[in-house]
Amino acid sequence: MKRFTVEAAVGLFMVAGFLAFAYLAVRLGDLPWLDPPTYTLTARFTSISGLKVGAPVEAAGVAIGKVAAVGLDAQHYDATVRLAIDQVVQLPADSIASIRTAGIIGDRYVDIAPGGAEERLVAGGVIEETESAINLEQLVSKYIFEKKE
């Protein structure tokens, strides 16, 4: 009887371990079929320095989507960023998209500042107002090597 109890306890422990592993794999695996439904918007920037696919899109500090794709417009030499925005979030047409850094040396993300327009951006729309990434190295070198007169 004692042997059966030990085997049952080990079996339950193993099952609990497998369930915990499966839960973590699903939560950390970033599976696309678990994401809420989204619509896509496009924004054009002069520089997206360090922004990667999968980076968060935030409004008021709350994640509202992800960066779906980044590319280069070969005609105008602008960076194009395709954003996947949660369908429950309807952004005003005059919203501003900015590339920000989480902390001093953190990852880049897109911050959306909603405007006050009555009309909303629809799927496939373009965010017209953008602010590109600030290049910290250029700012530091400009400050250091600036000639003082």
* Global model pTM greater than 0.75: no
Q: Are 24 and 43 in contact (CB under 8 A)?
A: no
- Pick 104 or 39 by higher pLDDT: 39
Work out the pLDDT band at 32, boundaries 50, 70, 90: low
Residue the block writes with tokens 């054009």: 44
Least confident range from 14-18, 46-50, 106-110, 143-147: namely 143-147
How high does pLDDT run on average in the chain?
86
Closest among 131, 123, 36, 117 to 82, alpha carbons compared: 123
> What percentage of the chain reaches a pLDDT higher than 70?
93
Structure confidence by residue, pLDDT tens digits, 84-94: 999 999 999 99
Distance CA 57, CA 95 (A): 13
Work out the pLDDT band at 73, boundaries 50, 70, 90: confident
Which pLDDT value is given to residue 149? Answer: 52
Work out the pLDDT band at 22, boundaries 50, 70, 90: confident
**In the chain, where the domains are located:** 1-32, 35-140
Average pLDDT value for residue range 123-138: 83
Burial class of residue 123 in the structure, from the number of CB atoms within 10 Å of its CB (0-12 exposed, 13-18 middle, 19+ buried): exposed
